[in-house]
Amino acid sequence: MYDYLVVGSGLYGAIFAHEAKEHGKSVLVVDKRPNIAGNIYTENIEGINVHKYGAHIFHTNSKKVWDYITQFAEFNRFTNSPVANYKGELYSLPFNMYTFNKMWGVVTPEEAAAKIEEQRKEIIGEPQNLEEQAISLVGRDIYEKLIKGYTEKQWGRDCKELPAFIIKRLPVRLTFDNNYFNALYQGIPVGGYTKMVENLLKGIEVRLNIDYLEKKQELEAMAEKVIYTGPIDAYFDYKLGTLEYRSVRFETELLDMPNFQGNAAVNYTDRETPWTRIIEHKWFEFGKDEYGNDLPKTIISREYSSEWKPGDEPYYPVNDEKNSKLYAEYKKLADADKKVIFGGRLGEYKYYDMDQVILMALDSAEANIK
């Protein structure tokens, strides 16, 4: 018998497992994948730590989170400064003075603010959809070139059909600051995220290639409590219906050249380019190996957004009204199950940044580890 069975070795599961072990509890972690670390899994290929399930850039304003996670990894000083490619025109993201200068030729913050203000007036009254919401925030030009195509690829729907609340705000900076997240603490773990999760799980029994849902009764009987980080609807065998997600498909290539695009992330914001962005993994660690040598090759991943179907990897919950109502019904079932704690992005059907996951896992551990 174990005190805790943790289903999933991603960030939430690994932190909960670590905290339980620190409290002297016996823990078993199971994961259906052949590797630990969930979606933050990185694999070292040709000296490059490849983000196998999409780019993960750690950022937080919480000193508590930063102090906690830096016990398990040294972080480099990577700053996320993506570039937007609109039909061969390159723009800075977030929207800043470089963006406005390229878009309109303006030079001063005052000119940029006036241009945005003039274009925002197009929307009168409460925005009725995502298109109107975006124009009301940043104007028609930025919307057409840098938001519309990218968003429609991301969600697989016309911006006029998407709810306004998806874009609550857009970062408009009247400065030349290219730091996308603008967080107090930011970086990438030196040596990759997998190494960081290994450190979290040190001394804990981990069994891989085990699908918990296929052996649910047998595994559940082995522990006093279960921490479940998989999809909540799958846990209940989809008996109330299936929650919707967006998924992402990656095409990854090893290229025999030192530099493909000169930046870690380039977003393709026109509708015609089928991928949403290209990640060049080496630039997360400044194009150098662990000894500081320049890497002669590079690895890129093209990302394609797609509608999720069973068997695909669920990435982004579709938090519209219909899905939110269905999740609320599943949550009632989850709350009634006193043996199982549901946590993380899939267990709570909500998109979370990594720092939010860490805080939630720590809060859950504090509340539940007796």
**Burial of 237 per CB tally in 10 Å (0-12, 13-18, 19+):** exposed
Could you give the CA distance from residue 212 to residue 347 in angstroms, rounded to a whole number? 14
Whether residue 303 lies in the annotated active site: yes
Whether residue 169 lies in the annotated active site: yes
Whether residue 246 lies in the annotated active site: yes
Catalytic residue among 3, 141, 144, 353: 353
The mean pLDDT value of the chain amounts to 96
The tokens describing 125, both together, are: 């009254």
Whether residue 302 lies in the annotated active site: no
Whether residue 277 lies in the annotated active site: yes
* pTM of this structure: 0.95
Catalytic residue among 152, 212, 246, 348: 246
Return the pLDDT at 319: 80
Whether residue 33 lies in the annotated active site: no
- Residue 172 makes CB contacts below 8 A (sequence gap 6+) with 94, 95, 96, 116, 137, 138
Catalytic residue among 173, 235, 285, 327: 173
Between the CA of residue 2 and those of 18, 268, 274, what are the distances in Å? 14, 48, 48
What is the 3 state secondary structure string of 27-96?
EEEECCCCCCCHHHCEEEECCEEEECCCCCCEEECCHHHHHHHCCCCCECCCCCCCEEEECCEEEECCEC
> Tens of pLDDT along 233-269?
999 999 999 999 999 999 999 999 999 999 999 999 9
* Gyration radius of the chain over CA positions: 22
**Residue 192: pLDDT band with limits 50, 70, 90:** very high
> Tens of pLDDT along 97-148?
999 999 999 999 999 999 999 999 999 999 999 999 999 999 999 999 999 9
Catalytic residue among 277, 285, 330, 349: 277
Whether residue 157 lies in the annotated active site: no
pLDDT at 310 over 90: no
- Residue 116's nearest CA partner among 145, 147, 137, 146 is 137
